[in-house]
Amino acid sequence: MNEFATMAQLGILLARPGALIAAAPAFGGAFAPPPVRIGLAVMIAILLVPVVPRESFASTASLGLVVAREIAIGVVMALALRAVLAGAELGGHLTGSQLMLSYGSVVDPQGGVRSNLVANLYGNLALITFLLMNGHHALLRALAASYTAIPIGEGSIGASLGAAVVQLLGIVFVLGARLAAPIVVVMLLVEVGTAIMARVAPSLNLLAVAPPIRVAVGLLAMAAMVPLVPSVVRAAASGVGDLALRAAGAFR
């Protein structure tokens, strides 16, 4: 085997884990320096050499098509983790809007960019929970198993891709709704209470009284909700490895 064939095989083998690391925040994402991400991708690719069947490299398909398919598989597997984090961030955005903290996501006088502290808090809690439950190990095991279930070579996009996308979006909205539902219910009760106060005491200036009440009650409710975030995220992320493998199976 000549050197070009060896380097081509290493490059093909590097595409799938490289795309996974580039798109999955648990392995660094955009926050890790590029040398760290490249080194991690190369190390994972080398460790996967005994796992990948040798006949996978005997494909007569175009090299560009094979690499594009490998990148697509890695990105789709990373989207399973992205869906869990996006669901947590969606719950944070809904919670922040209920607490009247959404103005900070429109105008940030320090950074000049959109930011939501509650969404960042929920997203970081979700990522830490994922790491503590060894979710990154499950994702790496799914990556290794994908070479047996989805060998390297030329493939096609199956009809299961639509169902996988629907399932990923379902995780985002269901998780976001579960995290924000307690705050929404509490804020609804506060609105009903302030409306009753307005009927009982018409002279009360609700424009001055209601916002502090909403913020105080909302912060107390969020303080009670934050300890429950890891358990909700753990339930949503328990099958992220299997979900990643099923989503990638659309490129058989």
pTM: 0.80
Is 98 a member of any domain?
no
Q: How many residues does this entry show for the chain?
A: 252
Model confidence band, residue 155 (pLDDT cutoffs 50, 70, 90)? low
Whether residue 101 is contained in a domain is answered as: no
Does residue 100 sit within a domain? Answer: no
Q: SS3 letters for 39-66?
A: HHHHHHHHHCCCCCCHHHHHCCCCHHHH
Strand, helix or coil at 105?
helix
Mean local confidence (pLDDT), 11-39: 80
- Considering the domain boundaries, does residue 7 fall inside one? yes
Alpha helices in 54-100 (DSSP H): 63-98
Instruction: Tell me if 34 is assigned to some domain.
Output: yes
In whole angstroms, what separates CA 176 from the centre of its chain? Answer: 12
For 66-86, how does the pLDDT look when each residue is reduced to its tens digit (9 = 90+)? 888 888 888 888 888 888 888
- Domain tally, the chain: 1
Residue 62 lies in a domain: yes
| C-alpha closest to that of 140 among 38, 44, 39, 25 | 44
Return the minimum-mean-pLDDT range out of 6-10, 24-28, 33-37, 217-221.
6-10
In a domain, 102, yes or no: no
Query: Could you tell me which residues come within 8 angstroms of residue 154 by beta carbon, excluding any fewer than 6 positions away?
Result: 59, 61, 62, 65, 66, 69
The token pair at 87 is 């669901």
Distance in angstroms (rounded) separating the CA atoms of residues 235 and 122: 15
Q: How confident is the model at residue 100 (pLDDT cuts 50, 70, 90)?
A: confident
Structure confidence by residue, pLDDT tens digits, 178-231: 999 999 899 899 888 888 887 887 777 777 777 788 888 888 988 888 888 889
Q: What does the alpha-carbon distance between residue 153 and residue 149 come to, in Å, rounded to a whole number?
A: 12
Query: Has residue 2 got a pLDDT over 60?
Result: no
97 in a domain, yes or no?
no
Q: Write out the residue range of the structural domain in which residue 12 sits.
A: 3-92+107-251
User: What is d(CA 57, CA 9) in angstroms, rounded to the nearest whole number?
Assistant: 7
